[in-house]
Structure 1
Amino acid sequence: MPDPAPKPARILEGMTGVILGVANKRSLAWGCAKSLSDAGMRLAFTYANDRLKDAVVKLAAECEGSIVIPCDVTIPEEITAAFDGIKAEFGTLDTIVHAIAYAKREELQGNFFDTSKDGYMLAHEVSAYSLTAVTRAALPLMEGRAGSIVTLSYIGAERVVPNYNVMGIAKAALEASVRYLAADVGPRGIRVNAISAGPIRTLSASGVRDFSSILDQIAEKSPLRRNVTAEEVGDACLFLAGPHSRGITGTTLHVDGGFHIMGV
């Protein structure tokens, strides 16, 4: 494993962002939050329910000037209230990190054709449609800010990954949403991109059956011969949120040790 990247200069000083999807310190959302906060961005963290609240509050305390607000993305009124709260506290918004995904555990094993209609719709509502809903709510705060929206995807959107099933279909919808949203909001100066991260042991990944075997195969076959870390995903998010990526939009950036280029 390479040494960690040096702590970045505070190139995002004076900017604000919202992080949706932090669950614990292993979350990719937390890796993104740390990279943005270390670079000077002030952050709002959301939590979906009371079960997650204490963990998110504890982590947010490590990021200077952060706030914590409830936001269940399946409830439109909560999305509206969350961005009203961000407006009251921050005034404007520069960055959204959308790191929300969910599917029923029983849908992440066996045959895809056994996916239930309810499971299919739920996975798409939480994992894909929520990006559109959040973007719409955030637009008034991002007008004129040259803002950046970043979401998290996975190679299961492009290829068949055993047991990923309905989540792969939802991630494909998410990546298509990135392209359509980028075309919509580009004239407003706002960029929309996705990071397709390699597999990392997170709370959500633990729901995929035989996940450990996926990690082993990536480490064996990727050009870098290892798995990536949440910190590396976080630094890619920092790049996409900051001025060095100002000409990039509608793109899915792979942070997977190069696995996506391999044929076999």
Structure 2
Amino acid sequence: MFTNPEKLTGLLAGKVGLVTGIANRDSIATGCARLFAAAGAELAVTYLNEKAKPHVAPVAAEVGAGLLLQMDVQSDDEMAAAFEAIRARWGRLDFVLHSIAFCPKDDLHGRVTDSSRAGFSLAMDISCHSFIRMARLAEPLMKDGGCLLTVSYHGSEKVIDNYNVMGPVKAALEASVRYLAAELGPKGIRVNALSPGPLKTRAASGIDHFDALIDAARERAPARRLVDISEVGAIATGLVSDFSTGVTGNIAFVDGGYHVTD
């Protein structure tokens, strides 16, 4: 656990960030938002719909978010409106955290071989292409450069039992990180991905036999423990800060070393 957020004081002072993908207080995006705020950033936070809002609003209040915006990434209008609200409030954007993924249950729990066209397409659209769409909307607001962050998982590189169709989807997301980094780099916009180890979040609970995945990570990681959302947030804060101006196109593992084991 990252226990000294005061060490980050002032690291993001004067920066404006957008945090998407908060589901509740235990989300990866929540851990990042808390550390961004501790480091001095002003934040806009999004929620999916009115059903989700009561779970996101307390986190937005906790981090002192200047804007709480409804944004379903399947709605071009809602995405455009969210970025326009940021432009109207601050006139710029310094960083974005994209922590959004979805796959229909039947496709997530089945073999990749058996995945439906509709399910695969939906998972790719929400989990991967939405990041590209955010990059396109953020680009004109990052006049002085900035940083785009997304969230991946080691199942993009290795076959992880029961991760199934999300493996190819996250592989596409990581490839998108590299291509966006190359395209936006001349404008001073950096693009990176976080790759946390297994965490007990609401999103992860949809994976079959997730408890076994958690146990394996705890036993095999060199650190012999799981990471938590504050540790992911600390790395995210460093990546969007000016201490990481030379870092782009990277996948940052935050998993206690789990990815180096068999």
TM-score of the superposition, structure 2-length normalised? 0.97
Amino acid at match of 2:52: L
For 1:51, what is the secondary structure of its paired residue?
coil
Aligned mates of 1:16, 1:71 — CA distance in 2: 18
Aligned mates of 1:125, 1:33 — CA distance in 2: 24
> For residue 102 of structure 1, what is the aligned residue in structure 2?
102
- Whether contact under 8 Å (2:2, 2:230) holds in the other structure is no
Amino acid at match of 1:249: T
How far has the Cα of 1:165 moved from its partner?
Answer: 1.0
How far has the Cα of 1:65 moved from its partner?
Answer: 4.5
Amino acid at match of 2:48: A
- Whether contact under 8 Å (2:35, 2:234) holds in the other structure is yes
Matches within 5 A, 1:158-173: 158-173=157-172
Matches within 5 A, 1:132-151: 132-144=132-144, 146-151=145-150
> For residue 57 of structure 2, what is the aligned residue in structure 1?
57
Aligned mates of 1:241, 1:151 — CA distance in 2: 11
Change beyond 3 A, Cα 1:131–1:4? same
> For residue 246 of structure 2, what is the aligned residue in structure 1?
247
> For residue 153 of structure 1, what is the aligned residue in structure 2?
152
> For residue 117 of structure 1, what is the aligned residue in structure 2?
117
Unaligned regions of 5+ residues in structure 2, if any? none
For 2:24, what is the secondary structure of its paired residue?
coil
TM-score of the superposition, structure 1-length normalised? 0.96
**Alignment: residue pair count:** 261
> For residue 40 of structure 1, what is the aligned residue in structure 2?
40
Aligned mates of 1:231, 1:106 — CA distance in 2: 32
Amino acid at match of 2:104: K
Aligned mates of 2:252, 2:4 — CA distance in 1: 19
How far has the Cα of 1:3 moved from its partner?
Answer: 6.5
How far has the Cα of 1:5 moved from its partner?
Answer: 3.4
- Whether contact under 8 Å (2:5, 2:38) holds in the other structure is no
Amino acid at match of 1:256: D
Unaligned regions of 5+ residues in structure 1, if any? none
> For residue 3 of structure 2, what is the aligned residue in structure 1?
4
Matches within 5 A, 1:56-95: 56-95=56-95
Deviations 1:171-211 (A, max 9, x none): 10100000000001100001000011100000110000000
Aligned mates of 2:12, 2:124 — CA distance in 1: 32
Aligned mates of 1:152, 1:65 — CA distance in 2: 21
Aligned mates of 1:29, 1:106 — CA distance in 2: 26
How far has the Cα of 1:114 moved from its partner?
Answer: 1.4
Q: Which runs of 4+ in 1 moved over 6 A?
A: none
Does 1:200 pair with 2:199?
yes
Deviations 1:218-252 (A, max 9, x none): 11011001111011000010010101111000000
Deviations 1:43-70 (A, max 9, x none): 0001111111122122101112521011
How far has the Cα of 1:110 moved from its partner?
Answer: 3.4
Amino acid at match of 1:201: K
Q: Percent identity?
A: 43
